[in-house]
Amino acid sequence: MPENAAPLDLTATATDLTVQLVDIESVSRGEQAIADAVQSALEPLAHLTVSRHGNTVVARTDLGRGERVVIAGHLDTVPLNDNLPARRDGDLIHGLGTCDMKGGDAVILRLAATVPEPVRDVTYVLYEAEEIDSEFNGLNLLSQSHPELLAGDFAILMEPSNAAVEAGCQGTLRVDVRTTGERSHSARSWRGVNAIHGAAEVLARLNAYEARRPVIDGLEYHEGLNAVFIRGGVAGNVIPDECVVEVNFRFAPDRSEDEAAAYVREFFDGFDVRVTDSAPGALPGLDRPAAKAFVEAVGGEVAPKFGWTDVARFTALGIPAVNYGPGDPMLAHKQEEFVPVEHIERCERQLRTWLTS
């Protein structure tokens, strides 16, 4: 057992456990204390096999069930913003990480501690560095170093989704659309070619864009194509010879990354388009038995996930996955983030039902 780990009390309610977790500061790249605490709390539980990978902790039941599910949550938060320690105010818990996503982590720990004989084998994953570059992402690292630990029939990522199921996720692609020109002094502008003026057509096409809204497994996704940055200019008296429009394409999970890139290239046909970043979407996968049973257990309501989340990492491993966790995703990364106690309790209750009946 690691030294100096803040003790976690897994006999407390998930709500109290949320407060305990929030009060262990764990900004990305600073997750050692919280990972130590999680590992120390889980290791004494005889029905679990616990392993540690960096600051990622994995705990598995091994009951030989016909099905295995993965339930995952990240331990890190975005940087402090004068919003610690946790503060309970009636039915809400306020503070850094309450919504994104220590409420979900608390539910995971409660289930791990109190459901010794689930009807489905469970792999609990509490991982590091979700909020930063994917090279540090614990789920990503684990999928490379120990993919067998993530194997399963279905995965639940406890990202905030208002305690409802948000299935799959949209992909995201970033491109630089570049126009070029020729510099000249702005007092003799007719001798140059203005690259910023040349970007007018790029923006005009974006204005004319009509979003596709495909229905997949009964869920309506909603694509989006947007300039997120624009930059150009050399000096106040120089006709600029380059302008770059950075465009973000959010695409439904029925397109691959390559298809998304091809779409954007064709959309900006005639312009210099360079892909700078890309992440695939995730299909909802609601036709799988484990997924169907889960959706039934939580009441049958499913919405599409528009934002990109780590569910796509499970999809890449061939495992259908959904987002399902306490908290409003619109509050993630906001100073005033909070999580409703009712969300925590509902998630715990519904997951317990699904794992025990």
Cα–Cα distance between 216 and 232 in angstroms, integer? 40
Which residue carries 């700078």 as its tokens? 276
CB of 226 to a second copy, least distance (A): 5
Sheet holding 92-94, edge to edge: 87-89, 92-94, 338-340
130 catalytic residue (yes or no):
yes
CB of 154 to a second copy, least distance (A): 24
User: Residue 80's CB: how many other CB atoms inside 10 A?
Assistant: 12
CB of 263 to a second copy, least distance (A): 16
Of the candidates 36, 105, 121, 130, the residue annotated as catalytic is 130
CB of 307 to a second copy, least distance (A): 4
Cα–Cα distance between 227 and 41 in angstroms, integer? 46
Q: CB-wise, 27 or 297, nearer to a second copy?
A: 27
Six token digits for residue 89: 């105010």
CB of 170 to a second copy, least distance (A): 6
269 catalytic residue (yes or no):
no
CB of 44 to a second copy, least distance (A): 40
CB of 240 to a second copy, least distance (A): 6
Q: CB-wise, 1 or 228, nearer to a second copy?
A: 228
CB proximity list for 32: less than 8 A, separation 6 or greater: 55
Q: CB-wise, 20 or 194, nearer to a second copy?
A: 194
Q: CB-wise, 234 or 262, nearer to a second copy?
A: 234
Q: Which residues pair with 220 in a beta bridge?
A: 215
Q: State the angle between helix axes of 341-356 and 103-114 in degrees (0 to 180), rounded to the nearest 10.
A: 30
Cα–Cα distance between 262 and 256 in angstroms, integer? 10
Residue 101 DSSP code? I
Six token digits for residue 163: 């305690």
Q: Which residues pair with 59 in a beta bridge?
A: 50, 124
Q: CB-wise, 122 or 243, nearer to a second copy?
A: 243
Short-list 125, 186, 191, 132, CA closest to 158: 125
Q: CB-wise, 1 or 208, nearer to a second copy?
A: 208
Q: CB-wise, 31 or 166, nearer to a second copy?
A: 166
Cα–Cα distance between 16 and 158 in angstroms, integer? 18
Of the candidates 31, 36, 76, 153, the residue annotated as catalytic is 76
Q: Is 192 helix (H, G, I), strand (E, B) or coil?
A: coil
Q: Is 76 helix (H, G, I), strand (E, B) or coil?
A: coil
The residues of the shown chain that bind a second copy, judged by CB under 8 A, are 170, 172, 174, 185-190, 194, 196-197, 199-200, 203-204, 206-207, 211, 222, 224, 226-240, 243, 245-246, 248, 250, 277, 306-308, 330
Residue 61 DSSP code? -
Cα–Cα distance between 338 and 96 in angstroms, integer? 8
| Catalytic machinery residues | 76, 130
